[in-house]
Amino acid sequence: MLVFGGTGDLTLHKLLPALYHLHREQRLPADLRILALARKPLDSDGYRALAERHCRAQVARGDFTADTWHSFAARLDYFAMDAAQSAEFGRLAQHLGKGCSRARIYYLATAPQLFAPIAAHLAIAGLAGANTRIVLEKPIGHSLASALAITQAIGKVFDESQVFRIDHYLGKETVQNLMALRFANALFEPVWRGAHIDHVQISVCETLGVENRGGYYDQAGAMRDMLQNHLLQLLCLVAMEAPVRFDAEAVRNEKVKVLQALKPLAGLDVRDLTVRGQYTSGHIGGQEVPAYYFEKNVDNDSDTETFVALQVEVDNWRWAGVPFYLRTGKRLQRKCSEIVIQFKPVPHRLFPGAAEHANRLLIRLQPEERISLQLLAKTPGKGMTLEPVELDLNLATAFSRQRRWEAYERLLLDVIEGDPTLFMRKDEVEAAWRWVNPILDGWRECYQKPRPYPAGSTGPEQAHSLLELQGRRWHD
């Protein structure tokens, strides 16, 4: 496995710890070797020391032992090269050894601008044969046009069956549980539609800022970094029809139909139904944190959004008229990713209070993995007063004997085993960009600075008004 971007945040914080866990549980092929690549001048020993520091910090103390680390580190090497330079790939081919027939995975943990050049350079150097796979990290491109250009460039070198477009949210246990909840339980399907559902909320709130990733993030913003991929994938899983089989083509066929059914937002809708924000200084967990424009490598007059909230509809038979509210942001009050399915109230009111507390299904993805259903029950004692109570399923305690896998563990193993079910197909990526692009254009055209919100808050006021104007509120 060759990891381009081997010194980057993603590799050090997520990929290597995930590979370490898989190694520790003996799930990796015995002869798998990992070659990290980046420009930083390091030798393999220097890289292993860097990798050890990060894995030690990321892996739970009880799971990190010197013996396991040494056997894992024996798989690891480093090769310094500039992946933008074609000639460097000749050197790489030499390093790998001519005629080597090993199966290879190229993991592109780099900015998307490098995807097309890396694929082309691999081909020129004779490194892109039939026994290779390529993994592309999101966001794939910066706009619809650049995404299409990447797809075309990758397609010239690799067959679609060799391409794994990763969205790590699909590797999260609770996200896969969403499919189990919907399609393995008969209970929800009859009411999973506009006739019974008032609206859906999908929130991915982070307390982290952009850390050392200002250079990348300031070019991307919350829309490209999170909404175009992670939140739209969650929306697909909530809204899709039942696939005929649980396999890559059937699941992805259903997801792409949802993306194609998203009601376009353009012109005045962009103004009225979307909110962009950017954090100013504030406090999170008692710590003072700086404003976005003080982060490293961020332009001090940046108008990049670190928060986005919007309303969208899925224009099809099942969901006509049901608003889906999506929001994501950095430096918010709490880390919490969740999906809220708000049901409609009962049609005929027998009891006071029944209308204000219609049933609500909460699917919490993180930090806890929980599914809870809010029901109304009678308050003990005289009279018929009702109160909301929760039917609560905590997935960590329900499966307490199994270690919870990190998303990247599952996905890396799927790449190694060649299972693309939890990866995005090219038409999904394209459909997502087709919907997102007019919003980005709209923001640019009606040039409006992102609304400021203090770090540690719940986002800009306008995001709350978006729902309040329709008599609804975000679930806190």
Ligand X SMILES: O=C1O[C@H](COP(=O)(O)O)[C@@H](O)[C@H](O)[C@H]1O
Ligand Y SMILES: NC(=O)C1=CN([C@@H]2O[C@H](COP(=O)(O)OP(=O)(O)OC[C@H]3O[C@@H](n4cnc5c(N)ncnc54)[C@H](OP(=O)(O)O)[C@@H]3O)[C@@H](O)[C@H]2O)C=CC1
For the segment 303-342, give every residue that binds ligand X (CB under 6 A). 337
* Position closest to ligand Y via CB: 8
Tokens of 111: 């900015």
**Cβ-proximal residues to 187 (8 Å cutoff; 6+ apart), any chain:** none
- Which stretches of 9-49 are assigned E, i.e. beta strand? 34-38
Binding partner of residue 208 among ligand X, ligand Y, none, CB under 5 to 8 Å per kind? ligand X
In one-letter notation, the amino acid at residue 203 is S
156-184 burial, b for 16+ CB within 10 Å, e for fewer? ebbeeebbbbbbbbbbbbbbbbbbebbee
How many residues bind ligand Y, per CB under 6 A?
24
Is 174 within 8 Å of 369 (Cβ atoms)?
Answer: yes
> Of 23, 70, 230, 475, which residue is the catalytic one?
230
Closest to ligand Y by CB, 217 vs 319, is 217
Asked if 120 and 158 touch (Cβ cutoff 8 Å), the reply is no
**Residue 24 assigned as binding residue:** no
Using CB under 6 A as the binding rule, whether residue 296 contacts ligand X is answered as no
Residue closer to ligand Y by CB (options 23, 168) is 168
x-marked contacts with ligand Y along 65-104 as a string, rule CB under 6 A: -----------------xxx--------------------
Round the CA-based radius of gyration of the chain to a whole number and report it: 23
Please report how close the Cβ of residue 206 comes to ligand X at its closest, in angstroms. 6
Shortest separation between residue 9's beta carbon and ligand X, angstroms = 9
Burial (CB count within 10 angstroms: exposed 0-12, middle 13-18, buried 19+), residue 301 = exposed
Please say which residue, 197 or 231, places its beta carbon nearer to ligand X. Answer: 231
Q: Which tokens go with 62?
A: 């009880």
> Cα torsion at 285, 286, 289, 291 (round to 10°)?
90
| Strands annotated E in 69-168 | 76-80, 104-108, 132-136, 163-165
Q: Are strands 34-38 and 197-205 parallel, antiparallel or unpaired?
A: unpaired
Q: Is 39 annotated as a binding residue?
A: yes
- For ligand X, the closer of residues 9 and 461 by Cβ is 9
Query: Is 230 part of the annotated catalytic residue set?
Result: yes
Q: Does residue 9 bind ligand Y (CB under 6 A)?
A: yes
Q: Which of 39, 349, 404, 444 binds ligand Y (CB under 6 A)?
A: 39
Amino acid in position 71: S
x/- mask, ligand Y, residues 214-253, rule CB under 6 A, reads --x-------------------------------------
Which position among 206, 409, 414, 428 is part of the footprint of ligand X (CB under 6 A)?
Answer: 206
Query: Which residue among 218, 225, 338, 428 contacts ligand X (CB under 6 A)?
Result: 225
Residues with catalytic annotation? 230
- The binding site for ligand X (CB under 6 A) comprises 206, 208, 225-226, 337
Query: Which residues define the annotated binding site for substrate?
Result: 168, 172, 206, 225, 330, 335
